[in-house]
C-alpha cells in the first residue's frame, strides 16, 4: 500500500511539478506554477506530508532511498531554474533545499495546528523568496 502511494507521488512529481519548472516563462513564473501544482496535490494544505511519515521511525529504512531520489530530483530542477536565471550553483542548490524545507515544514505545521492557511501562505511567498536578488 505504501509503495503504491510512493509510486503515485513520484509519478505526480514527474508529470506535474517538474514540467512546470521546465516550461516557458521567467524563473518567478515557473516557480509560481510549481507552487500552484503543489497546492493541488496537497489540497491547499489539507492533505498531510507523506514524506515526513515515511522518513520517521521504522519506515525510514524501507523508503529512504526512494524519498531521497525524489527530493534530489526536485531540488535539482529548482536549482536549475535559478541557475538559468543567474544564480551561482551553490546558492541555487541551497535555495532548492530551502524550498523543500519551506514546503514540507509548512505542511507539517499546518496539519499540526489544523490551519491549512499556513501552507497556502508559504506557497504564496515561496517564489519571491527563491528569486530574491536574481541577476545581482
**Structural domains in the chain?**
2-130 (1.10.357.10)
Q: How far is CA 33 from the centre of its chain?
A: 12
Q: How confident is the model over 68-83, as pLDDT tens digits?
A: 888 899 999 999 999 9
Higher pLDDT: 6 or 59? It is: 6
Asked whether the beta carbons of 34 and 15 are under 8 A apart, the reply is no
Angle at 55 between CA 50 and CA 58, to 5 degrees: 115
> In whole angstroms, what is the distance from residue 9 CA to residue 20 CA?
16
> In whole angstroms, what is the distance from residue 116 CA to residue 122 CA?
10
pLDDT of residue 97: 97
Place of cell 514540507: 104
> In whole angstroms, what is the distance from residue 4 CA to residue 93 CA?
30
pLDDT of residue 47: 72
Place of cell 507552487: 35
Asked whether the beta carbons of 107 and 46 are under 8 A apart, the reply is no
What would the mean pLDDT of 116-125 be, rounded to a whole number?
95
pLDDT of residue 136: 47
For residue 19, count other CB atoms closer than 10 A to its CB: 14
Alpha helices (H) along 13-114: 18-22, 27-41, 50-55, 59-84, 89-113
What would the mean pLDDT of 4-26 be, rounded to a whole number?
82
Instruction: Answer whether residue 102 shows pLDDT above 80.
Output: yes
Amino acid at each position: 500500500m505504501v509503495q503504491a502511494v510512493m509510486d503515485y507521488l513520484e509519478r505526480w512529481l514527474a508529470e506535474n511539478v517538474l514540467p512546470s519548472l521546465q516550461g516557458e516563462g521567467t524563473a518567478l513564473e515557473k516557480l509560481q506554477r510549481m507552487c500552484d501544482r503543489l497546492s493541488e496535490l496537497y489540497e491547499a494544505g489539507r492533505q498531510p506530508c507523506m514524506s515526513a511519515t515515511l522518513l520517521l521511525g521504522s519506515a525510514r529504512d524501507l523508503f529512504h532511498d526512494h524519498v531521497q531520489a525524489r527530493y534530489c530530483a526536485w531540488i535539482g530542477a529548482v536549482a536549475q531554474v535559478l541557475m538559468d536565471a543567474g544564480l551561482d550553483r551553490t546558492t541555487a542548490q541551497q535555495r532548492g533545499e530551502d524550498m523543500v524545507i519551506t514546503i514540507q515544514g509548512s505542511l507539517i505545521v499546518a496539519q499540526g495546528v489544523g490551519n491549512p492557511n499556513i501552507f497556502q501562505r508559504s506557497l504564496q511567498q515561496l517564489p519571491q523568496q527563491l528569486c530574491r536578488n536574481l541577476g545581482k
